[in-house]
Structure 1
Amino acid sequence: MIVKTHGIVLAQTPLSSQDKRLTLLTSDFGLVDAIARNVSGARSKLSAAAEVLAYNDFCLFKGKSGYIVNSADLENNFYGLREDLVNLSLAGYFCELTRFVLPSEDNGGEILRLLLNTLYLLEKRKRTPNFLKPVYELRLLSLSGFAPNLHNCCICGEEGLEEVYFLPVDGRVICGNCLQKHPYDKLKIILPAAVRKAMEYILNADSRQLFAFQLTPDSEKLLEAVSEAFTLCHAGGKFKSLEFYKSITI
């Protein structure tokens, strides 16, 4: 059966001197693996379309053993990202993190739009890597069912507090009074109102307005730290691409 879909290449694995297995994030089927044959060499029609970060209009053959790439029309390869190592490494982290959350048919289209918009802003330098990283992490995890609860203290339930502590492992917040009464021996990060509001905005904003907010440099730095801590707690480990990104930005 032949199926058509739009998708971006998140990863590629050589199978032979000519064939590769592509991990695709598609608009219709979520995350899928597809075999691309005869993609090596300058004469290959699929060579450019099989590169990581290539966004294509795919025609796939769906068989009993999986998908095979029948054709792919390249629409965007985000070439500008390849001219900057920091931006390229961050894009690689976005791809690795996206593969981890296993987008499905239900949320694949929305996650694909999120990734494409984020890569566009990164490539065109319309927002900084430090801004885009936490926005992508939090929104991606939210779309994947891992949204933190920032609305009220997890112990007393009080709402509207100006300052709380964020508990990355639990994905919840706790007020200062409850923290004194109920000591917490895991990681906790003080969360000023401005950063909490930014997190709530990222989790709930319309996708068309997702990136339309500003933070002070200090708040942006804290947002990045909080988001990364939460992501690593709920993503089950470390990401090599993140480690490399941090090694060249610190």
Structure 2
Amino acid sequence: MTVKTRGIVLGQIPMRDQDKKLIILTQDMGLIEAIARKVNGARSSLSAAAEVLAYSDFCLYAGKSGYIVNTADLLENFYNLRMDLEKISLASYLCELTRFILPDRDNGGACLKLLLNSLWLLEHGKRSPALIKAVYELRLLSISGFAPDLSGCLGCGAEEELTFYPIDGSLFCEHCRGVMPPDRPQMKLPQPVFYAMRHICEAPDEKLFSFKLTPDSEKALGFVTEYFTLCQTGGKFKALDFYKTMLA
């Protein structure tokens, strides 16, 4: 059976006989794996579409042992990202995080749109890498069912003097936070960061990046979203570690 889908390559695994296993985030099938035959050959028509970050229209053969790439028409390869080590290392982290989340048929399309928009903004310098990273982390988790409760203090609904508990994804004000164990991981949440996080989780796609923060608030947002991501996934991401060495 032949299946057609559109997707972006998040990773590749070399195999024997010049084959590669591609990890593809698709718009209607979630995250899938597909074998690209002889893709390392000099005359391969699939070599460009088999690269990480290649966004293509795929025609797949669905066999008993999985998908095989029949043809692929490249739509975008985000070439300019590859010319900037900081940007490509961040893009690699976004891909690694997405693979870890394992988007399915229900949220794959939303995750794909988020990734494509983030990569485009990153490539063209429309937003800072730090802001793109923070927005992507929190929005991806929100899409995938890990959204924090940003309605306000869980005890009284207050929206000022908040403390964020990343393991629980909850907020408490100074008056109510005594119900939480004092050794529970926590961080103060400045009001601009609180409102930015709420926007990231709730805004429609076309307005997702339509907000601005001061440099200090942007830095604070990045710290919160990264810590929240690591708490919720329990993951350790090699690409994130490498990206952070680029900033040192």
Relative to structure 2, which stretch is displaced further, 10-19 or 223-232? Answer: 10-19
**Cα offset, 1:235, TM superposition:** 1.1
State the number of aligned residues: 248
- Which amino acid is the alignment partner of residue 75 of structure 1? L
* Superposition map of 1:12-27 within 5 A: 12-27=12-27
**Cα offset, 1:65, TM superposition:** 1.2
In the alignment, what sits opposite 1:247? 245
In the alignment, what sits opposite 1:176? 174
Q: Can you give the 5+ residue segments of structure 1 that lack an aligned partner in the other structure?
A: none
In the alignment, what sits opposite 2:218? 220
Give the whole-Å Cα distance in 2 for the aligned partners of 1:110 and 1:181: 36
* Superposition map of 1:1-250 within 5 A: 1-154=1-154, 156=155, 158-180=156-178, 182-250=180-248
- Which amino acid is the alignment partner of residue 143 of structure 1? I
Give the whole-Å Cα distance in 2 for the aligned partners of 1:181 and 1:150: 18
TM-score (norm 2): 0.97
**Cα offset, 1:183, TM superposition:** 3.9
Give the whole-Å Cα distance in 2 for the aligned partners of 1:85 and 1:225: 21
How large is the Cα RMSD of the aligned pairs?
A: 1.0
Relative to structure 2, which stretch is displaced further, 35-44 or 178-187? Answer: 178-187
Give the whole-Å Cα distance in 1 for the aligned partners of 2:105 and 2:158: 36
Secondary structure, aligned partner of 2:175 = helix
Give the whole-Å Cα distance in 2 for the aligned partners of 1:195 and 1:113: 24
TM-score (norm 1): 0.97
Give the whole-Å Cα distance in 1 for the aligned partners of 2:179 and 2:34: 54
Give the whole-Å Cα distance in 2 for the aligned partners of 1:58 and 1:37: 14
- Which amino acid is the alignment partner of residue 171 of structure 1? G
Secondary structure, aligned partner of 2:239 = helix
**Cα offset, 1:187, TM superposition:** 1.4
Give the whole-Å Cα distance in 2 for the aligned partners of 1:146 and 1:181: 22
- Which amino acid is the alignment partner of residue 225 of structure 2? S
Deviations 1:176-210 (A, max 9, x none): 12224644212111001110000000000000110
Does structure 1 conserve the Cα–Cα contact (< 8 Å) formed by 2:118 and 2:136? yes
**Cα offset, 1:121, TM superposition:** 0.3
